Amino acid sequence: MKMFLSRKGQATTETVLLFPVLVIFILFIIKIFGLLVLSQKMEIAGFYAARRFQLQSHTTDYLQRWDRRYLAKDIQKKVEDYLGFNNQGMRKLLSLRNVKLDINTSGTWTRVVLTVYTAPPRIKFLCDYDKLQLCQNDLACLKGFEFLCETGGQLQVIKYVGPNERVLPYVRPEG
């Protein structure tokens, strides 16, 4: 039984010293995971916006004004809700600032661009350092540091959909 004896206070000291490091890494991983979740949610929201506009938009000039005024605004409202702009906790976790939905129709394709602007996550222990001293003129490092600590960034999803071609039911010529 003597092999299970240890010095007093050893485990407590190690726990006290390592716990803050563990918490910092967990917070860092959660923020990075939040960006991954946001990019996946944007892909789904972009597909939803493009498909809904494809199926509910109109081809006549009079009704295209309705599409721009009401349909596009309703789609943007649903996309904002899905991404988490109406949930304060999700907005803070994903560092969301604002969203822009741009729908451009041309003769053949409709281009739906979903852009989400994020605030900088400001991970405290990373942002305490001088960026020029830390990165030493490495362009990728400077860009990453500015994203994490100063400016945030923008994520963009572009979807293309064809015209709304709902096929009419087949009617035989004899009636």
In the chain, what percentage of residues exceed pLDDT 90? 27
Q: What is the model's pLDDT at position 42?
A: 94
Is residue 65 assigned to a domain? Answer: yes
Structural domain harbouring 129: 11-161
Domain assignment present for residue 1? The answer is: no
- Per the domain annotation, does 33 fall within a domain? yes
Asked if residue 135 is part of any domain, the answer here is yes
Q: H or E stretch including 38?
A: helix 10-56
151-168 residue pLDDT tens: 888 899 999 988 776 554
| Three-state DSSP string of 99-155 | EEEEEEECCCCEEEEEEEEECCCCCHHHHCCCHHHHHCCCHHHHHHHHHHHHHCEEE
Beta carbons within 10 angstroms of residue 94's beta carbon: 22
Is 172 part of any domain? no
Phi and psi, residue 100, nearest 5° = -135, 130
Averaged pLDDT score across all residues of the chain:
82
- Going by pLDDT thresholds of 50, 70 and 90, the confidence category of residue 126 is confident
Residue 174 maps to a domain:
no
- 47 lies in a domain? yes
Q: How confident is the model at residue 122 (pLDDT cuts 50, 70, 90)?
A: low
